[in-house]
Amino acid sequence: MAQIITEVSRTFNEFLLLPNRTRTDTSATTVELRTPLVRHVVGEVPAIELQSPFTSAIMQAVSTPELAIALARNGGLSFLHHNQSIADQAAAVREVKNFKAGFVTSDTNVRPDDSLGVLVDVMRHTGHSTAAVTHDGSPNGSLLGLVTSRDFHPQRHDLDGPVSGRMTAIADLTHAGPDVTLSEANAQLWDERLDCLPVLDADGRLQHLVFRSDYTDNKRFPNQLVDAAKRLRVGAGINTHDYQERVPALLEAGADVLCFDSSDGYSDWQAQAVTWVKKHYPEIPVGGGNVVDGEAFTFLAEAGADFVKVGVGGGSICITRDQKGIGRGQASAVLDVAAARDAFRERTGEYVPICSDGGLVHDYHVALALAMGADFVMMGRYFARFDQAAGAKFPTRDGFVKEYWGEGSNRARNWQRYGQGGQGLIFEEGVDGYVPYAGDLNEGLALTIAKLRTTMVSCGSRTLPEFQSTARLTLVSDQSFQESHATVTLRDTPPTA
Ligand code: RVP
């Protein structure tokens, strides 16, 4: 007879945190959000720690190189998706690893024989007022000059005339070589009163531009997640089908950490694949999942997984529970797996972090997941709303939306994640839809982090481990859930009779 687990499967919405005593040395600005990403011996510092407990989902619609750069600059980590060719995924990893803060790839480029009219169009399209003039109009062509919106006036100058007639030619431009550091470039910008410094390779091809206006940019991000060579860190999703070819290519490209991406990680295939990676590349951390109970966590931890993702069926685009009747409320899953993680730590002396993946709808859900024992969270819908995510942005009557689709939808057809008997994706496990547009990741995430910090202060916690060990949670009834929301008529709603 089937085993019935009598404990009800619960979601985050069913819980609230109780405030704990807040001491005078606890403040939002000093709360520490550092958290372990990978397995380590208790008492030792993990090989990789996140500076803030956020990772972005291994999804086409979410983790672009642009988003990975923005998230790592804010102390978190993206996992670039594997639902693309090995070469494309490796190129995406390289793009993140090659990012140099303050060094931008020129997006406003023209050829010398393009007309000023073309230049005006390009500038209008990108919104930038400095254009590189390269031999072929590409971002990395031979640099022939720079032209800015101050070099011509659309009414005074003939818009049919060539750009070359108004540009500052390379012979009259200060430029730097490929090895220039950001501080050297900034010194040159200020000493020589330049607005823009082109960085060229040995053959005179444009590599990057450094702008005076970006000078303060780096200072905005004190918690960047970087490797020993100060390059941003990036993760990559892998699957149990082509890992023997994919893993070496991703490591070659510079991936810092890998994660097996499966809707059901409690399988011999995943354990064998984790063991293979650990045997051939012992230095690279590899995560596993997804699981929803302690038994499955222990199975993957014993196979060698360096962290384990928790969550089946709770994702905002996920219909696995409707289609297959499989899953577990995310709160119950995290609590059960956290208990197994702690038991594993007691038994082996090793700490294997866990990640709460999917189903985080409100900012405060992040705090609940962490309080319940997650070391970090993974979010898809949350990040899909930002400029840096892959989905297209569309206007609606009330603002903008962005596209967001599941890996199990017909649009993504990620059969490697959704094993359905080795016959490709036979039925959908995800939907294709829209999420409200939320602007720039840097601003949105700063707000979420501010809320997390103040929640931790209310709970009297200065660090995440302290938060995990001292948080007190209460179940909420339907009635008290209602009480949580404003019950007055809001000012922007017309009063009804
Ligand atoms: P959410 O943050 O609620 O949007 O959930 C994102 C998570 O949902 C992913 O990290 C993944 O675990 C899961 N997912 C991705 N695609 C699908 C699907 O098509 N069912 N589910």
pLDDT tens-digit map of 62-83:
999 999 999 999 999 999 999 9
Q: What is the pLDDT of residue 446?
A: 97
| Ligand 1 binding residues, C-beta < 6 A | 57, 59, 290, 311, 315-318, 320, 357-360, 378-382, 406-409, 429-430
Cis, bond preceding 442 (omega within 30 deg of 0) = no
Q: What is the pLDDT of residue 270?
A: 97
Q: Where are the alpha helices (DSSP H) in 76-142?
A: 86-97, 116-126
Please provide the distance, in angstroms rounded to a whole number, between the alpha carbons at the two ends of the chain.
58
Q: Of 312, 357, 402, which is best to mutate to test ligand 1, by the most ligand atoms within 8 angstroms of its C-beta?
A: 357
Cα of 240 vs centre of ligand 1, distance in Å, is: 18
Of all protein residues, whose CA lies closest to atom 8 belonging to ligand 1? 315
Of all protein residues, whose CA lies closest to atom 21 belonging to ligand 1? 318
Cα–Cα distance measured from residue 152 to residue 159, given in angstroms and rounded to the nearest whole number: 9
Q: Of 317, 354, 416, 425, which is best to mutate to test ligand 1, by the most ligand atoms within 8 angstroms of its C-beta?
A: 317
DSSP designation for 232: B
Q: What is the pLDDT of residue 237?
A: 98
Tell whether 262 is in a known binding site.
yes
Q: What is the pLDDT of residue 127?
A: 83
Q: What are the residue boundaries of the structural domains of the chain, listed by start?
A: 12-101+222-484, 103-212
For residue 423, the one-letter residue type is: Q
Contact 27, 199 (CB under 8 A): no
Q: Of 259, 307, 382, 407, which is best to mutate to test ligand 1, by the most ligand atoms within 8 angstroms of its C-beta?
A: 407
Count CB atoms within 10 A of the CB of residue 323: 16
Given the residues 39, 231, 341, 417, select the one marked as catalytic: 417
Tell whether 259 is in a known binding site.
no
Cα of 417 vs centre of ligand 1, distance in Å, is: 11
Active site residue 462: no
Helix (H, G, I), strand (E, B) or coil at 380: coil
Structure tokens, 193: 């009163």
Active site residue 355: no
The residue-averaged pLDDT of 164-169 equals: 95
Tell whether 56 is in a known binding site.
no
Tell whether 391 is in a known binding site.
no
pTM of the model: 0.86
Q: What percent helix, strand, coil does the chain show, rounded to 5?
A: 30, 20, 45
The residue-averaged pLDDT of 456-472 equals: 97
What is the number of the ligand 1 atom nearest to the C-alpha of 318? 20
Structure tokens, 45: 């510092």
Cα–Cα distance measured from residue 411 to residue 93, given in angstroms and rounded to the nearest whole number: 23
Cα–Cα distance measured from residue 234 to residue 244, given in angstroms and rounded to the nearest whole number: 20
Tell whether 322 is in a known binding site.
no
Which residues are registered as beta bridge partners of 393?
Answer: 402
What is the number of the ligand 1 atom nearest to the C-alpha of 414? 19
DSSP designation for 285: -
Contact 108, 123 (CB under 8 A): yes
Cα–Cα distance measured from residue 43 to residue 29, given in angstroms and rounded to the nearest whole number: 26
Q: What is the pLDDT of residue 497?
A: 55
Q: Distances from the Cα of 188 to the Cαs of 145, 175, 185, 199, in angstroms?
A: 18, 9, 5, 12
What is the number of the ligand 1 atom nearest to the C-alpha of 359? 3
ipTM of this complex: 0.99
The residue-averaged pLDDT of 155-182 equals: 92
Give the confidence band of 118 by pLDDT, cuts at 50, 70, 90: very high
Q: Does domain 103-212 have CATH number 3.30.9.10?
A: no
Cα of 90 vs centre of ligand 1, distance in Å, is: 22
Residue 215 clears pLDDT 90, i.e. is over it: no
- b/e burial code for range 393-420 (CB count within 10 A of at least 16 → b): eeeeeeeebbbbbbbbbebbbbbbbbbe
At which residue do the structure tokens 């750009």 appear?
163
Q: What percent of the chain has pLDDT over 70?
A: 97
For residue 293, the one-letter residue type is: D
Given the residues 196, 318, 355, 459, select the one marked as catalytic: 318
Cα of 389 vs centre of ligand 1, distance in Å, is: 15
Give the confidence band of 98 by pLDDT, cuts at 50, 70, 90: confident
Q: Does domain 12-101+222-484 have CATH number 3.40.109.10?
A: no
> Can you count the helices (H) and strands (E) in the chain?
14, 23
Cα of 445 vs centre of ligand 1, distance in Å, is: 19
Count CB atoms within 10 A of the CB of residue 388: 21
Cα–Cα distance measured from residue 376 to residue 55, given in angstroms and rounded to the nearest whole number: 7
Size of the chain, expressed as the number of residues it contains: 497
Q: 317-343, pLDDT tens digit by residue?
A: 999 998 899 999 999 999 999 999 999
Cα of 429 vs centre of ligand 1, distance in Å, is: 10
Residue 403 clears pLDDT 60, i.e. is over it: yes
Q: Distances from the Cα of 324 to the Cαs of 59, 327, 427, in angstroms?
A: 21, 9, 10
What is the number of the ligand 1 atom nearest to the C-alpha of 383? 2
Give the confidence band of 496 by pLDDT, cuts at 50, 70, 90: low
Interstrand relation of 130-134 and 143-148 (parallel, antiparallel or unpaired): antiparallel
Structure tokens, 382: 């949350």
Of all protein residues, whose CA lies closest to atom 10 belonging to ligand 1? 57
